[in-house]
Structure 1
Amino acid sequence: MNTNKLIPLLSEMAIFVNVVDSGSFSNSAKKLGVSPSSVSRSITRLEDALQEKLLVRTTRQMRLSSTGQEVYNLCSDMMNSAKLAVSAAQADKTDISGVLRVAAPKALSRQVLMPMILDFIEAYPNVALQLKVADHYIDPIGDEVDVIIHITDKPTEGLIAKTLTQCRLVLCASPEYLETHGIPIHPEDISAHNCVCLGENPRDRVWDFTNNLKKVSINVSGSFAVNHSEIRREAVLRGVGISVFPEFAIQEYVDSGEVVEILTDWHVGGNYQGKVIAQYAQSKFIPGQIKTFVSYLEDRFHHGK
Structure 2
Amino acid sequence: MAIFARVIETGGFSTAARDLGVSKSLVSKEVSRLEDRLGVRLLNRTTRRLSLTEAGAAFYEGCQRVLNEAESAKEAVSHLASAPRGQLKVNAPMSFGIMHLGPALPAFLERFPELDVQMVLNDRVVDLIDEGFDVGVRITRMLDSSLIARRLAPNRLVACAAPSYLKKHGTPRRPEELKRHNCLGYSYSKSPGIWEFRSEGTRHKVAVSGRFTANNGDVIQAALLSGFGIAVQPSFIAGDDLRSGRLVRLFEGYQIGEESAVHAVFPANRNLSPKVRVFVDFLVERFGDLPYWDAEIWD
Relative to the length of structure 2, the TM-score reads 0.71
Relative to the length of structure 1, the TM-score reads 0.70
The CA distance in 2 between the partners of 1:125 and 1:59, in whole Å, is: 47
Taking only aligned residues, the RMSD between alpha carbons, in angstroms, comes to 3.3
The equivalent position to 1:91 in structure 2, one of 74, 82, 87, is 82
Count matched residues.
249
Q: Which runs of 5+ in 1 are unaligned?
A: 1-26, 63-82
Q: CA deviation at 1:145?
A: 1.0
Q: CA deviation at 1:201?
A: 8.1
Alignment partner, residue 102 of structure 1: 90
Q: State whether residues 3 and 31 of structure 2, in contact with CA within 8 Å, keep that contact through their aligned partners in structure 1.
A: no
The equivalent position to 2:126 in structure 1, one of 123, 135, 138, is 138
The CA distance in 2 between the partners of 1:181 and 1:33, in whole Å, is: 89
Percent identical among aligned pairs is 28
Q: Summarize deviations over 1:248-305 as a string: whole Å, max 9, x none.
A: 00011111111111112222226xx61111122344433222222122212211387x
Alignment partner, residue 254 of structure 1: 242
Q: Which runs of 5+ in 2 are unaligned?
A: 35-73, 293-299
The CA distance in 1 between the partners of 2:128 and 2:220, in whole Å, is: 30
Alignment partner, residue 43 of structure 1: 17
The equivalent position to 1:190 in structure 2, one of 170, 178, 182, is 178
Specify the SS of the correspondent of 2:88.
strand
Q: State whether residues 199 and 205 of structure 1, in contact with CA within 8 Å, keep that contact through their aligned partners in structure 2.
A: no
The equivalent position to 2:104 in structure 1, one of 108, 112, 116, is 116
Alignment partner, residue 281 of structure 1: 267
Q: State whether residues 104 and 134 of structure 1, in contact with CA within 8 Å, keep that contact through their aligned partners in structure 2.
A: yes
Q: Does 1:238 align with 2:229?
A: no
Q: State whether residues 28 and 39 of structure 1, in contact with CA within 8 Å, keep that contact through their aligned partners in structure 2.
A: no
| Distance change in 2, residues 1:189/1:44 (3 Å) | same
Q: Does 1:298 align with 2:284?
A: yes
The CA distance in 1 between the partners of 2:225 and 2:269, in whole Å, is: 47
Greater displacement, 102-111 / 212-221: 212-221
Q: Summarize deviations over 1:42-89 as a string: whole Å, max 9, x none.
A: 3267346xxx97679388648xxxxxxxxxxxxxxxxxxxx79x9389
Aligned partner of 1:276: which letter? V
Q: Summarize deviations over 1:10-55 as a string: whole Å, max 9, x none.
A: xxxxxxxxxxxxxxxxx2246669448546633267346xxx9767
